[in-house]
Amino acid sequence: IGNIYKGGCSLETHSDYAANNTAGYTYYKIEDGSTRSYADSTMLRGILDEDWMTISFQQASTDSGKPETYEPFLTNLMAYVDENKTNPDAKYVWHMTWAYAQDKVPAKYEKDQMYMYNAIVNAVQTKVLTKDEFEIVIPSGTAIQNARTSTVGDTLNSDGTHLEETHGCYIAGLMTFKALTG
């Protein structure tokens, strides 16, 4: 498993970093049961490191419900990955983010968790599912929203935006496993 990581990174920033081969990421690689990290990495380093079976994309959570923030950046990123991936059969996967805890939802989502969740669903439907290249959507956002309707309630975020490690990350992990393995 490899992860090209830059916290809070939007599709626009990823697209810019790809176009300019910017070494602005930390590349995390899980191999033989241990994780190694490589600071100051480029996206290209991660793409070329393995003949990846799946390559996932994700919008920054704060922009994930704003369809206007997806293009042309997602298309540019997909073209960049297509040009550089070493496995022509690699599947493209979209990771759907979750709405923030109710008390952390920003004004651009009317400070309403359900509004933010519905906006994320709409963006995925109109900007991701319209692209044939995406074979899988990991519906973490839906799983988290569904879990909030249980006795767990709105407790799945550690800081209002990121998932807490006990239940939130576990739910997202289960959704990833199910989406990738069936």
Check: CB of residue 91 under 8 Å from CB of residue 136.
Answer: yes
The model's pLDDT over 43-66, given as tens digits with 9 standing for 90+, comes to 999 999 999 999 999 999 999 999
What are the residues whose beta carbons fall under 8 Å from the beta carbon of 56, sequence distance 6 or more?
A: 92, 93, 94, 95, 138
What are the residues whose beta carbons fall under 8 Å from the beta carbon of 62, sequence distance 6 or more?
A: 8, 106, 161
The model's pLDDT over 86-110, given as tens digits with 9 standing for 90+, comes to 999 999 999 999 999 999 999 999 9
Check: CB of residue 67 under 8 Å from CB of residue 103.
Answer: no
Query: Whole-model pTM?
Result: 0.96
CA 164 to chain centre: 16
Question: What is residue 94's predicted lDDT score, i.e. its pLDDT?
Answer: 98
DSSP 101: P
Question: What is residue 41's predicted lDDT score, i.e. its pLDDT?
Answer: 98
Q: What Å distances lie between residue 14 and 23, 53, 72, CA to CA?
A: 11, 21, 12
Sign of the torsion angle spanned by Cα atoms 16, 123, 120, 29: negative
